[in-house]
Amino acid sequence: MTLRATPQIGHSACPHDCPSTCALDVEILDSHTIGRIRGAKDNSYTAGVICAKVARYAERVHHPDRLLKPLIRKGAKGGGEWQEISWADALDLTAEKFLKAEEKYGSETVWPYYYAGTMGLAQRDSINRLRYAKKYSNMFSSFCTNLAWTGYMAGTGALRGPDPREIAKSDCVVIWGTNAAATQVNVMTHAARARKERGAKIVAIDVYETATVRQADIGIVLKPGTDGAFSCAVMHVLFRDGLADWDYLNRYTDAPKELEQHLQSRTPQWAEAITGVCVEDIEAFARLVGTTKRTYFRLGYGFSRQRNGSVNMHAASCIAAVTGAWTLEGGGAFHSNSGIFGMDKSEIEGSAFADPSIRALDQSKIGRVLTGDAQALYSGVPVTAMLIQNTNPANVAPEQRLVHQGFMRDDLFTVVHEQFMTDTAKMADLVLPATMFLEHDDIYRGGGQQHVLLGAKLIEAAGEARENLYVLNELANRLGVGHMAGFNLSARQLVDNLLTKSNMPDFETMRQQRWLDKQPDFETSHYLNGFAWPDGKFRFRVDWQKQTSPDRPPQAMGLQGPFADMPEFPDYWEVNEQADPQHPFKLTTSPAHNFLNSSFSETPTSLAKEVRPQLLIRDDDAAELGLADGARVEIGNERGALVLYVKIQLAGGAKKLRRGVVVSEGLFPNSSFEGGEGINILTGADAAAPHGGAAFHDIKVWIRPCEDQAAQAA
């Protein structure tokens, strides 16, 4: 009998766009091969638990469809014909095209474009060093955090909160606007511990019956974009019933009496008509959090992805200030710890080379930019050359039809550095194979927790895949800026320098200790020494035009959306797309359990579990349209239309979808849809107030039975 050797265990961090940034233990079978991935048991936040899609990461690393060689387009754009090209020739061609574009239009015609396909600071953010050195167009990041961060910081003044591990010490955990059971499993780990050890109640607030709502003790389903109304009614009850902590309010908040007066008309009856949540459930939730002071509000990103998202986030964060929950361990309102780390990325990003006179183009408006919209281009030159890393805009960006039209331009030269032939790569002129996180060095930080984590290279790269830094350094040399500071350094050198400048242990020390806990002390985390405003007061009254956050647009762009109309106090701000007779439904595009944005949609297990693009709809709404479970249905608006398969939602009571609300989980590749267009053809790119951001979950639509279904019904 042959005994199987125990695999070597390597240590890393999950690189994906998820707040958990889990500490990982990786089975290394040989220099090119991994086995199972597990959560690090000795990391106090990860606590040995990770999501199933990362546990089976070997499916991604060793996928037969990984890009392994550079490819150049043959034939028409998007035609799918490719031929191999050497790395040297591919990089020479890229530099040649960029230089010719600059010669014709100036440097701003080149637009390096990236996002969070990796959250590693060296590999993700070094593209900005090339951008700044060459004076290429800047990119205003607007896919994810703008609305949430702005809204949270409107109250606290800083982007930090109570230690997320304190969830386990809470008597009530409110998980609001995030499907933690699918996308942040560690939140559920600590919440379940609180329930088991302390008898804590878990409350989940969302717009449909997610896995988190199913696992919660109390599930509250409201209409999309109405979280502000729900929050106001809850605070109304707290003030009305003597559950507001006036000692805390007078000491730590700016305008408690004015807030109480403002909320007198925001009754549960008023909120029921807006949210769809009945008066009894609003009252019960208010009593629960009002009588359970040790309540931990875990505020996610999902409910902020509305045109009124910043107002909603601020309103939800105010509840903990009214109850005084901040004073107790296991209490308070947490959204992100992204402000605690103090990591000096100046060398990685080349910030010394940045020129404020160079225009910034809105990431979410890529479709408008590439189709020549003068306003989106800030009346500047067209974009005629792009380098794209770590993102898949042909699938994930709003106004997908415009994005597709833009990429099809004959005068646009596009280089995509990717791991798979994504929807964006299919439309490129040149596709370069990229490494995965286990095949290069990097450093990570967890916005949903408190650790800085090292991710050292554990295996050799597959085929001819190269890391982001290789591409950027080689292009810098060919474009005449390779001599500038920061270029031609390895990822390890950049990480080491970052750690030194940030007063943290060096690379080798971090390799041994694996992570560094950066959670501030209790008083700082709970703002017991004052909130991060000059007077130390939590802000109920907000001056949105002066509000600051890391996502504030550059001065040349100015504030975004109808910022002048934003309410001064927490409220229901009726600025969203409204259902109307032509578009009687509101659509939310929520994350699927087995995908993460457009990642994992190529792995066989994830695809098998998600099956096909579906539309979740109430049974009575479906009946009115004559739809049966599994029926093909067309869904659309003025931006486009596509076909989905009906999945009737049968949940009852408080967990039932509200009338006129439908959900499509994703993101599936565009090729998974009939016609080859994905769900984001329905999504608008209008900038939300006040700091921009795409309202991915704020979409009005019509729904029609497909012709073949209608004929069968007749």
Same domain, 313 and 430: no
Tell the residue number behind the tokens 């309202």, with chain if given.
695
The reply to whether 231 falls in a domain is: yes
Answer yes or no: is 451 within a domain. no
pLDDT at 650: 83
Residue tagged 């703008």 (tokens): 146
359 and 243, same domain (yes or no): no
Indicate if 330 and 428 belong to the same structural domain. no
Are residues 175 and 319 located together in one domain of the fold? Answer: yes
Bin 558: left if φ > 0, else alpha if -120 < ψ < 50, else beta.
left
What CATH number corresponds to the domain at position 615?
A: 2.40.40.20
What per-residue confidence (pLDDT) applies to 1?
45
- 355 shares a domain with 328: no
pTM for the complete prediction? 0.97
In a domain, 647, yes or no: yes
Does 5 score more than 80 pLDDT? no
Instruction: Specify whether 176 is located in the same domain as 309.
Output: yes
Q: What are phi and psi of 58, to 5 degrees?
A: -55, -30
Q: Which of 479, 513, 547 is the last residue of a domain?
A: 513
The values of phi and psi at residue 167, to 5°, are -50, -40
Q: Which of 275, 301, 335 is the last residue of a domain?
A: 335
131 and 233 both lie in a single domain? no
Instruction: Quote the CA–CA distance of 502 and 505 in Å, as a whole number.
Output: 9
Q: What mean pLDDT value characterizes the chain?
A: 96
Indicate the pLDDT class of residue 4, thresholds 50, 70 and 90.
Answer: low
Structure tokens at 141: 């990041």
Query: Which is nearest to 418 in space by CA: 132, 114, 164?
Result: 114
Q: Does residue 343 lie in a domain region?
A: no
* 4 within some domain: no
pLDDT attached to residue 711 = 43
CB 86 within 8 A of CB 57: no
Q: How far apart are CA 478 and CA 489, in angstroms?
A: 16
Burial annotation 243-282 (CB, 10 A radius, 16+ → b, else e): bbbeebbeebbbbbeebbebbeebbbebbbebbbbeeebb
- Across 118-146, average pLDDT: 98
Domain that holds residue 651: 585-711
Which residues, including other chains, have CB under 8 Å from residue 261's CB and lie 6 or more apart?
none
Looking at residue 310, its pLDDT comes to 98
60 contacts 68 by C-beta, under 8 angstroms: no
Q: What percent of the chain has pLDDT over 70?
A: 98
Tens-place pLDDT, residues 463-508 = 999 999 999 999 999 999 999 999 999 999 999 999 999 999 999 9
φ and ψ at residue 476, rounded to 5 degrees: -60, -40
Q: Is the peptide bond before 690 cis (omega within 30 degrees of 0)?
A: yes
Beta bridge partners of 33: 30
C-alpha to C-alpha distances, 637 to 153, 160, 641, nearest whole angstrom: 34, 39, 6
Residue 193 counted as domain residue: yes
Helix segments in 526-603, DSSP class H = none
- Is position 53 within any domain? no
Mean pLDDT of 193-205: 98
> Which tokens hold the place of 279?
């008066």
Mean pLDDT of 601-626: 94
Tokens of 101: 């574009």
Structure tokens at 357: 């006179």
Q: What percent of the chain has pLDDT over 90?
A: 95
Is it the case that residue 201 has pLDDT exceeding 90?
yes
- Return the pLDDT at 3: 52
C-alpha pair distances (Å), 686 with each of 124, 232, 309, 394, 702: 26, 27, 13, 17, 20
Residue 709 confidence (pLDDT): 58
pLDDT average, residue stretch 545-568: 95
How many CB atoms lie under 10 A from the CB of residue 292?
17
How is residue 177 annotated by DSSP?
Answer: S
Count: domains in the chain: 3
310, 335, 360 - which closes a domain? 335
In this predicted structure, the answer to whether residue 714 has a pLDDT above a threshold of 90 is: no
* Residue-wise pLDDT tens digits, 374-411: 999 999 999 999 999 999 999 999 999 999 999 999 99
Name residue 412's amino acid.
Answer: L
